[in-house]
Chains A and B, each alone.
Chain A
Amino acid sequence: MMMNWNRRQFIGALGTTSLIAGFPGLVLGAAKARVVIVGGGFGGAIAARYLKLHEPGIEVTLIERNKHYISCPFSNEVLSGERNIESLTFGYAAHAARGVNVVHDAVTAIDAAKKTVMTQGGKSFAYDYLVVSPGIDFDYGTIEGASPEMEKTMLHAWKAGEQTLQLKKQLEAMKNGGLVIITSPKRPYRCPPGPYERAAQMAAYFKHHKPKSKVLILDHGDTMPKQALFEESWKQLYPGMIEWVPGSSGGKILRVDQKKRSLVTDMGDQKADIINFIPPQRAAAIARMAGLTDQSGWCPIDPMTMESTLHKGIYVIGDAAVTNDIPKSAHAAASQAKVVVNAIVAVTNGKPVPKPQYTNACYTVVGPDYGFSIVGIFQPEGGKLVSVKGAGGLSPVGAPSYVRKAEAEYAYSWLKNITTEAFL
Chain B
Amino acid sequence: MRESRLLHVPFWATFVFLYAPIVVLVVYSFNAGDSPFSFEGFTFRWYGELAGNADIRTGLVNTLVVAAGSTVLSTVLGTLLAVGLARHTRSRLLDAVGLLPAVLPDLVLAIGLLVFYSAIKITLGLHSVLLAHTVFGMAFVAAVVRTRLAHADTSLEEASRDLGAGPLTTFARITLPQLAPGIAAGALLAFTLSVDEFVIAFFTAAPTEPTLPIVIYSMVRFGVTPEINALATLLLAVSFTVVIVAQRMTRLTESFS
* A and B co-occur in one complex: no
The residues of B with any CB-CB pair to A shorter than 8 Å are none
